[in-house]
């Protein structure tokens, strides 16, 4: 599926609790859609083995990060799990000017700040299919110790409690279907087709039952 570059580019904010599968979903989306890119955040977090500086994140020192904050180089920045993360203004405006849709992978705090500054931005929240599955996914990663996993489980519930601030909800139960759903949202917004532009029903029975399970 391709996206025509003649239409206006949009800024999408995508949030999800750790373990909801956001990174894999967006990776698939990037390979399936042209003219859509994720923005690369700055972070003071330590680089993980599989990550590449300048591709996954711009890994910077706390000192450098604070300098950038002073220079007002970020649309938003936040402390998440004891590390700083920020979204650079320069990289986003450059991509949008080129007609490329930009996806920001940020948490609810960042999403709020972006909404305030860029009213035309659109937001998508990705939910895991159940609390049990989320727990399994967090444990199954094997890259963090149990204290971190427990902390992330608690943070996940906190993150998910903000689902109602988002324009779209996507449940990552079936990977292929979830990818298709996000594609429909992105392409629909770009093409401004009335049918696809409809916001998804947030309070459908399926969503309501799942949210009860996730947030209990």
In the beta sheet, which residues pair with residue 68? none
186 contacts 33 by C-beta, under 8 angstroms: yes
CB under 8 Å to 73, separation ≥6 — which residues? 86, 88, 89, 90
Find the helix or strand (DSSP H, E) in which 74 lies: strand 74-80
The minimum distance between CB 52 and ligand 5GP, in angstroms, equals 13
- Reported residue count of the chain is 216
Residue from 19, 21, 86, 129 binding ligand 5GP (CB under 6 A) = 86
Which range, of 100-108, 121-129, 134-142, 193-201, touches ligand 5GP by CB under 6 A?
100-108
The site map against ligand 5GP for 37-56 (x = CB under 6 A) is ----x---x-----------
Residue from 68, 69, 73, 80 binding ligand 5GP (CB under 6 A) = 80
The minimum distance between CB 41 and ligand 5GP, in angstroms, equals 3
Does 106 participate in binding ligand 5GP (rule CB under 6 A)? yes
Does 21 participate in binding ligand 5GP (rule CB under 6 A)? no
Closest residue to ligand 5GP, Cβ-based?
A: 110
CB neighbourhood size of 115 (10 A): 18
Tokens of 3: 């996206």
| Residue whose CB is less far from ligand 5GP, 20 or 36 | 20
Q: Helices 146-160 and 131-140, interaxial angle, to 10°?
A: 140
| Residue whose CB is less far from ligand 5GP, 145 or 205 | 145
Angstrom distances, CA of residue 49 to CA of 40, 41, 52, 56, 92: 17, 18, 8, 11, 27
175 contacts 23 by C-beta, under 8 angstroms: no
Subset of residues 125 to 184 that bind ligand 5GP, contact rule: CB under 6 A = none
Does 78 participate in binding ligand 5GP (rule CB under 6 A)? yes
The minimum distance between CB 23 and ligand 5GP, in angstroms, equals 8
Does 12 participate in binding ligand 5GP (rule CB under 6 A)? no
101 vs 97: CA distance, rounded Å: 10
- Where do contacts with ligand 5GP occur on this chain (CB under 6 A)? 18, 41, 45, 76, 78, 80, 85-87, 105-107, 109-110
């Amino acid at each position: 599926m391709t996206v025509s570059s003649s239409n206006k580019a949009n800024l999408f904010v995508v949030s999800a609790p750790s373990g909801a599968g956001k990174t894999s979903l967006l990776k698939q989306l990037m390979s399936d859609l042209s003219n859509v890119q994720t923005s690369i955040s700055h972070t003071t977090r330590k680089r993980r083995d599989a990550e590449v500086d300048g591709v996954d994140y711009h890994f910077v020192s706390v000192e450098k990060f604070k300098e950038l904050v002073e220079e007002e180089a970020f649309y938003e920045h936040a402390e998440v799990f004891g590390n700083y993360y920020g979204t650079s203004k320069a990289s986003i405006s450059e991509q949008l000017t080129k007609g490329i849709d930009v996806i920001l992978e940020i948490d609810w705090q960042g999403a709020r700040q972006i909404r305030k500054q860029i009213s035309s931005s659109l937001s998508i929240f990705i939910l895991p299919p159940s609390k049990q599955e989320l727990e399994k996914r967090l444990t199954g990663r094997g890259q963090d110790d149990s204290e971190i996993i427990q902390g992330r489980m608690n943070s996940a519930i906190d993150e998910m409690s903000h689902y109602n601030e988002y324009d779209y909800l996507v449940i990552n139960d079936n990977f292929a279907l979830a990818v298709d759903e996000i594609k429909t949202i992105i392409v629909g917004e770009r093409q401004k087709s009335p049918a696809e532009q409809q916001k998804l029903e947030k309070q459908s029975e399926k969503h309501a039952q799942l949210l009860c399970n996730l947030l209990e």
